[in-house]
Amino acid sequence: MAEDANPFESLQSQIDEAAAYLDIGDDVIERLKYPERVLETNLTIELDDGSLERFKAFRSQFNGDRGPYKGGIRYHPQVSQDEVMALSGWMAYKTAIVDIPLGGGKGGIIVDPADYSESELERLTRAFAVELTPLIGEDKDIPAPDVNTGQREMNWIKDTYETLEGTTEPGVITGKNLASGGSEGRVEATGRSTVLAAREAFEYLDMDLEGATVAVQGYGNAGWIAARLIDEMGATVVAVSDSSGGIYNADGLDPVAAKDHKNETGSVVGYPNADEELTNEDLLTLDVDLLIPAALENAIDGELAEDVQADVISEAANGPLTPEADAVLEDKDVFVIPDILANAGGVTVSYFEWVQNSQRFYWTEEKVNAELEAVIVEAFDGLVETIEEYDLDNPRTAAYVVAVQRVADAFEEAGSFP
C-alpha cells in the first residue's frame, strides 16, 4: 500500500477539481477545504497489569452547515490528525451527495486494538467518550463505527455519555446494536450501497452484472458484505483479501465460507477452496469486471493504477485511490464510483437510525433497505446527470460538483457569523 499520499491533501485537491466547474468564490471554497475544529486529546488508561498507557486521539468537526457533524471513529495504529481531518471532510461531502441533513465529522484513536484486552478497550473507549461528551449530542455531533470499531464500542460511548449527562439519548451515536436502539440493516449498509452503486453503474455502462467477475480488497464489515451481496446478485467473486493476503479462484469463491474461515483463523488466507494465494497488489491488478477496494486509504497509487485492469471500481473504502491513481484511471476509462457515493450506505442508514431514535419508532429491515436503495439510486442518477451536463470524464469530479455546491448553498443561505 502506498504510504506517501496525504489524505487531507487528496481531499483538498478533489474539492479544487470540482470548484473549477462551479461559480463559487475562492473565499467560500477556502472555508469548505478545512475543518471547523479538531480536538486532539491524550487518553491515559490503566492496563490489566496495573500500569498506565497514553493514547493520542482526535475528533474533527469538518462542516456543520447542513446539519449535525456525523462520522465514524477509527482505531488503528496509522490514525493521524490529517487522516481524521480528511475522513471528516469526505463525510461532509458524502452526506451532501446523498442529500441527508447532516454534516461531516470523524474521530480516531492511535491504537492497534488487537494488542489489548476487551476490558482495556472498554476503558479506552470510555475515556475517549468522556473527552467527546462536551462536543457530541444528537443535535451536535453523532459518532458511528469505522475501521476496528463496531456495535460494542458504540454501546460503550452511548452509555458513558448518557451516564455523564444524566439522560437517555440513543441518537447521540449510531451503529448501536438493536437492543441499544440500533437500526435494522445498519451492519450491512456500507456493503449494500457499494453493490447498489455498482449495479447502477453496470446498467449505465450497458454491462451485465450476471456472471461479472469481482475482486474485493479488505474483508471486514464493508468488504465481506459487499462480496456476499454481489454474489447474491449473480456476479462471481473471484478474489478477496485482508491484511494478511488474498485468495483467488477463477470459478468463484463462496463469500460466506471465506468469511467463516476468516472468523475461525483470523484471515481469508488458507481458505481451502482457493486455487491460489495472492498479494494485495496482485488482487488490485486482476483482470476483473469490478474491483471493490474495501480496506484503507491509498490502496492504489499512480504506479499501481497503470496495471489496474478492472472496468469499474466501486470504492467501499474511503480514499482508496490517490489523486495520481485517479488521473491514470480516468485516462484508462475506468469508471470509478467515488467513495462519497459508493460507501454512503453506512451514513445513510446511520441517518435512518438517528431518525428512528428521535421518533422512538423503529422500521423493518425491508423498509430500511428499500429507503437506502432509493437514496443511492437517486444519488447515482444525479451523478450521471452532472457527468452529462458538465461533460465530465471523472465521476468523482461530478460527485464533488454536486456535493460542494450543496454545502456552499447551505453556508451562503445561513451567512457568516460573526
Using the rule CB under 6 A, is 222 a contact of ligand NAD? Answer: yes
Q: Which of 125, 213, 241, 285 binds ligand NAD (CB under 6 A)?
A: 241
Q: Which stretch binds ligand NAD (CB under 6 A): 114-122, 215-223, 230-238, 368-376?
A: 215-223
CB of 34 vs ligand NAD, minimal distance in Å: 20
CB of 65 vs ligand NAD, minimal distance in Å: 21
Is 62 strand, coil or helix?
Answer: strand
Catalytic-residue membership of 262: no
Using the rule CB under 6 A, is 60 a contact of ligand NAD? Answer: no
In this structure, what DSSP letter does residue 170 have?
G
Q: Which of positions 278-297 make contact with ligand NAD (CB under 6 A)?
A: 280, 294-296
Is 340 strand, coil or helix?
Answer: helix
Torsions phi, psi of 76, nearest 5? -160, 145
In 181-338, alpha helices (H): 189-204, 221-232, 255-265, 280-284, 302-305, 323-331
Residue with the CB atom nearest ligand NAD in the bound state = 220
Using the rule CB under 6 A, is 183 a contact of ligand NAD? Answer: no
Alpha carbons 11 and 24: distance in angstroms, whole number:
18
Q: Which of 60, 95, 155, 217 binds ligand NAD (CB under 6 A)?
A: 217
Residues 134-173, one symbol each (x = binds ligand NAD by CB under 6 A, - = not), give -----------xxxx-------------------------
**Strand order in 312-314's β-sheet?**
276-278, 245-248, 236-242, 213-217, 290-293, 312-314, 335-337
Q: Which of 108, 182, 218, 382 binds ligand NAD (CB under 6 A)?
A: 218
- Which of 106, 176, 259, 262 is flagged as catalytic? 106
Is 30 strand, coil or helix?
Answer: helix
Q: Which stretch binds ligand NAD (CB under 6 A): 124-132, 212-220, 228-236, 358-366?
A: 212-220
**Radius of gyration of the chain, Cα coordinates, nearest whole angstrom:** 20
**Strand order in 141-145's β-sheet?**
37-46, 52-63, 104-110, 69-76, 141-145
Active-site residues, by number, are 106
Q: Which residues of this chain interact with ligand NAD, rule CB under 6 A?
A: 1, 145-148, 190, 217-223, 241-243, 280, 294-296, 316-318, 343, 346
